[in-house]
Amino acid sequence: MFILDHLAVGAESLDAGVAWVEDRLGVALQPGGHHEKYGTHNKLLGLADGLYLEVIAKDPHVNPLAGHSWFDLDRFSGPPRVANWICRADVPSAYANHAGPVQQLSRGDLRWSITVPGDGRLPFGGGFPTLLKWADGITPPSQSLPPSGLRLIEFVVIHPEAAMLQGLIPINDPRIRFEQGESSFVARFEGPDGVKELS
pLDDT tier at 109, thresholds 50, 70, 90: confident
Of 179, 138, 175, the closest CA to residue 3 belongs to 175
Q: What is the mean pLDDT of residues 162-173?
A: 97
Third-level CATH fold of 3-147: 2,3-Dihydroxybiphenyl 1,2-Dioxygenase; domain 1 (3.10.180)
Of 161, 2, 17, 144, the closest CA to residue 87 belongs to 2
pLDDT tier at 108, thresholds 50, 70, 90: confident
Q: What is the mean pLDDT of residues 40-51?
A: 97
Secondary structure (H, E, C), 87-145: EECCCHHHHHHHHCCEEEEEECCEEEEEECCCCCCCHHHHCCCEEEEECCCCCCHHHHC
Predicted TM-score of the model (pTM): 0.96
Domain ranges of the chain: 3-147
Sequence length of the chain is: 199
